[in-house]
Structure 1
C-alpha cells in the first residue's frame, strides 16, 4: 500500500503539488476563520437565570423564587444538571446542558419554560437570562480616569452612555458596569406626618408610581387639523417628586414634600471596587459572546472606545485594567518565532550534512502545509487557537522536522548505496 502510494506520488508530481497547494490555501483560509483566544474554554455548557427581588432574605428568595424556578425548569431535554443559589435579594439558577448542545437552542428551551414558570413567582418579579457568554468571556476590563468627578456621575456616565456605545460592537454579549454609586431619588417619610394624614406606606408607593407616567388621549380635530392629546408626567427632577399628590385633606392636596423629604442618594452597595489601592474607580467588563474571536472582538472594542471617548466630558479618559489581547498576541508571536527558528535550523542541518538544497527545500515546504492542515482540523472539531492548541502545534513542528530530516537522510543514503552498487552500473 505504501509502496503504491509512493510510486503514484513520484509518477504524478503535478497532482501531488496541486493537492499540496490546495491544502495550503484551504489552511490559510482556516487560519483566518479560526477563533483566537488565549485561554481554552473548558467551562460547562450552561444557561444562567437571574432573578432580583431586593430587600428579601435568602430564605424567602429560596422558597418563593429559586425553588419554583428549579422545579419547573427540570425536564428540559438534554439537561445534565441544575444548580440553584439564593442570596440576599438575588437568585441564580444554573442549567447545565450536555456538551454537544447548541447554546442558543438551550437558551430558547429555557426561555420557553420561564414563560410558564412566571405565573408561580410573586407579582412584579421577572426572571431574566444571563448573557450568552462563557466563564472565560471576560476579555476586556476598563476604568474611567475622571479626576474631579464624583463616583455617582461617573457611574451614570458609564451606565447611560459608555455602556450603550460598547454594546453595539459585534461579538459583545454584555458590558457589565462596576464601582461607583447608582443614583436614585430617595423619599424619606416622616411617620408622624404619615399618621396625621391617615396614610400608609403603600398609599405613598402607589401614588409615586402612578405619578411617574405618561398617558395618551384621543385625537382632537379642529379646523381640518388633528391634535394628539397627551399627558406628560415623567419625573425629570427632584421637584417633580416633591409635588406628587398622595391624597387630599378637605380639598387641599397632600404632596410628598408635606409628609417627608426627597433627596438624591445611591442604591444599596454590597461592596466597592478599588483600583491598585488608589481609591474607588468606575468601569466596565466586556463579556464576549459564545464562540466569537476574542482577538477580533477586543480590537473592535478598542476602536469603538476611541469614538465613545470623543463624547466624554473634558478630562475623562479610559484606562485599560485587563486586556487579553496582549496574551493572545504573545502566543501568536511565539508560534511565528518557533516556525522561523525551525526553518532556519532545518536548512542549516540539511545543507551541512547532506549538502543538498533540494532536500532542505522539501522539508521546509512540509512545515507550513502541515500547520495549515492542522488549522483545518481545528475548525472541523470546533477548537479555537489558544495557548494549549498553539503549544501543541509548536511542539509538533519539531516532530515534523525530525521526520523530514530522517526521511530525507534515509532516501539520500538509499540512493547513494544504489549508485555505488556495482551491479547497478552499466557495462
Structure 2
C-alpha cells in the first residue's frame, strides 16, 4: 500500500506539489484564525447563577434562594451536574453541562428556567447569570496609580469611567473592579429620636426612597411656546438628603437631620487589595469571553487603555499587574526559534553527510507544511494555540526532521546500491 502511494506520488509530481501548496495556504489561513492563549482551557462547561440578598445568613440564603434555584434548574437538557454554595448575603449555583454543548445555548436554557424560578424567590431578589467566560478567562489585571486621589475617588473613577470604556472592547465579557471604597450616603439614625417623634425605621426608608426620584409631567403651551413640566427630585448632596421630611410632629415636619446625621462613607467591604504592604490600590480584572483570541483581546485592551488615559485626571495612570500576552509571546517565540534551529541542523547534517542540497531542501519543505496542516486540525477540533499545543508542535518538529533525514539517507543508499549493481563492469 505504501509502495503504491509512493509510486503514485512520483508519477504525479505536479499534483502532489499543487496539493501541498494548497494545504500550506490553508494552513497559513488557519494560523491567523486560530485563537492564541497561554494556557489550555480545561475548565468545565458551566453557567454560573449569582444571587445577592445582603444581610442574610447562609442558612436563610440556602433555604430561600439556593434550594429553590437548584430544584428548578434540574431537568435542563444535557446537564451533567449542578453544584451550589451559600454564604453571607450571596448564593452561587454552578450548572455544569456536558462537553460539546454550545455555551450560549446553555445560557439561554438556564435563563428560561430562571424566569420561571423567579416567582419562588423572596420579593425583590433577582438571580443573574455570571459572565460568559471560563476559569482561565482572567487575562489582564491592572491598577490605578493615583497618589493624589483617595480610595473612594479612585473606585468611582474605575466604576463609572474606566470599567465602561474597557467593556466595549471586543471579546471582553466583564471588567471586575477591586479595591477602594464604593461611595454611598450613610444615615446614622438615633433610635431615641425615632421613638420621640413616633417614626419607624421603615417610614424613614420609604420616605428617603420616595424623595430620591424625578417625576414626569406634561407639556404646557402658552403664547405659542411649549414648556415641559417635570419634577426634579434626585439627591445631589448631603444637604438634599438631610432636608427630606420623614414625618410630622404637632404640625411641624420632621426631617432626616432631626432624627440622625448624614455622612459620606464606603460600602461594607469583605477584603482589601494591598500592594506588597505599601498601601491599598484600586484596579480591575478583565475577563475574556469564551472562545476568544486572548492575544488579540489583550492588544485591543492596551489600545483602549491608551485612549482612556487621555480622559483621566492629571497624575492618574495605569499600572499593569498581570499581562498574559507576555507568556503567549514567549510560547510563540519558542516555537519560532525551534523551527529555525531545526532547519539549520537539517541543512548542516544533510549537506555534510550526503553532500546533496536537494535532499536537504526536500526535508526543510516538510517542516512548514506539516506545521501548517497541524493548525488546520487544531481549528477542526476547536483547540487553541497554547503552551501545550505549541510545545507538542515543537517536539513534533524533531520527529519530522528525524524521519526526513532517515528517509533521505535510505533513498540515497538504495539509489547508490542500484547504480552500483546496474553499472556494467569495465
TM category, shorter: over 0.9
Deviation at 1:14, TM superposition (A): 1.1
Residue of structure 2 in register with 1:395 after alignment: 395
Deviation at 1:51, TM superposition (A): 0.7
Deviation at 1:149, TM superposition (A): 1.4
Deviation at 1:222, TM superposition (A): 2.4
Residue of structure 2 in register with 1:142 after alignment: 142
Q: Report the 3-state secondary structure (helix = DSSP H, G, I; strand = E; otherwise coil) of the residue aligned with 1:168.
A: coil
Residue of structure 2 in register with 1:419 after alignment: 419
* Mapped partners of 1:278, 1:59: distance in 2: 38
Would you identify which runs of 4 or more consecutive aligned residues in structure 1 move more than 4 Å?
424-427
Residue of structure 1 in register with 2:334 after alignment: 334
* Mapped partners of 2:424, 2:210: distance in 1: 107
- Quick one: structure 1 residues 426 and 202, their matched pair in 2 at CA, closer, same or farther if it must change by over 3 Å? farther
Residue of structure 1 in register with 2:319 after alignment: 319
Alignment of 1:268-307 (within 5 A): 268-307=268-307
Query: 1:146-197 CA deviation, whole Å, 9 max, x = no partner?
Result: 1121111111111111101111100000000001111100001111111111
Alignment of 1:164-313 (within 5 A): 164-313=164-313
Aligned residues: 426
Residue of structure 2 in register with 1:381 after alignment: 381
Contact residue 419 and residue 425 of structure 1 kept, 8 A: no
Q: Report the 3-state secondary structure (helix = DSSP H, G, I; strand = E; otherwise coil) of the residue aligned with 1:269.
A: coil
Contact residue 84 and residue 94 of structure 1 kept, 8 A: yes
Q: Report the 3-state secondary structure (helix = DSSP H, G, I; strand = E; otherwise coil) of the residue aligned with 1:48.
A: strand
Q: What TM-score do the two structures reach when normalised by structure 1?
A: 0.98
Deviation at 1:212, TM superposition (A): 1.0
Query: 1:234-283 CA deviation, whole Å, 9 max, x = no partner?
Result: 11111111111112234322111111110001111111111122111110
* Mapped partners of 1:96, 1:16: distance in 2: 47
Residue of structure 2 in register with 1:372 after alignment: 372
* Mapped partners of 2:136, 2:42: distance in 1: 8
Query: 1:89-119 CA deviation, whole Å, 9 max, x = no partner?
Result: 1110000000110000000011111111111
Residue of structure 2 in register with 1:361 after alignment: 361
Residue of structure 1 in register with 2:58 after alignment: 58
Deviation at 1:355, TM superposition (A): 0.3
* Mapped partners of 2:124, 2:249: distance in 1: 31
Deviation at 1:4, TM superposition (A): 2.3
Contact residue 207 and residue 246 of structure 1 kept, 8 A: yes
- Quick one: structure 1 residues 425 and 200, their matched pair in 2 at CA, closer, same or farther if it must change by over 3 Å? farther
Q: CA RMSD, aligned part only?
A: 1.2
- Quick one: structure 1 residues 425 and 251, their matched pair in 2 at CA, closer, same or farther if it must change by over 3 Å? farther
* Mapped partners of 2:95, 2:234: distance in 1: 39
Alignment of 1:63-82 (within 5 A): 63-82=63-82
* Mapped partners of 1:71, 1:60: distance in 2: 16
Gaps in structure 1 of 5+ consecutive residues? none
* Mapped partners of 1:228, 1:113: distance in 2: 43
Residue of structure 2 in register with 1:158 after alignment: 158
Q: Report the 3-state secondary structure (helix = DSSP H, G, I; strand = E; otherwise coil) of the residue aligned with 1:353.
A: helix
Residue of structure 1 in register with 2:49 after alignment: 49
Mean CA deviation greater in 250-259 or 63-72: 250-259
* Mapped partners of 2:374, 2:143: distance in 1: 39
Gaps in structure 2 of 5+ consecutive residues? none
Alignment of 1:4-23 (within 5 A): 4-23=4-23
Q: Report the 3-state secondary structure (helix = DSSP H, G, I; strand = E; otherwise coil) of the residue aligned with 2:269.
A: coil
Deviation at 1:387, TM superposition (A): 0.5
Deviation at 1:323, TM superposition (A): 0.6
Deviation at 1:367, TM superposition (A): 0.0
* Mapped partners of 1:356, 1:264: distance in 2: 82
Deviation at 1:381, TM superposition (A): 0.1
Deviation at 1:221, TM superposition (A): 2.5
1:131 to 2:131 alignment: yes
* Mapped partners of 1:97, 1:233: distance in 2: 48
- Quick one: structure 1 residues 425 and 3, their matched pair in 2 at CA, closer, same or farther if it must change by over 3 Å? farther
* Mapped partners of 1:199, 1:205: distance in 2: 11
Q: What TM-score do the two structures reach when normalised by structure 2?
A: 0.98
Q: Report the 3-state secondary structure (helix = DSSP H, G, I; strand = E; otherwise coil) of the residue aligned with 2:95.
A: strand
* Mapped partners of 2:40, 2:404: distance in 1: 30
* Mapped partners of 1:193, 1:220: distance in 2: 43
Q: Report the 3-state secondary structure (helix = DSSP H, G, I; strand = E; otherwise coil) of the residue aligned with 1:41.
A: coil
Q: Report the 3-state secondary structure (helix = DSSP H, G, I; strand = E; otherwise coil) of the residue aligned with 1:16.
A: helix
Q: Report the 3-state secondary structure (helix = DSSP H, G, I; strand = E; otherwise coil) of the residue aligned with 1:272.
A: coil
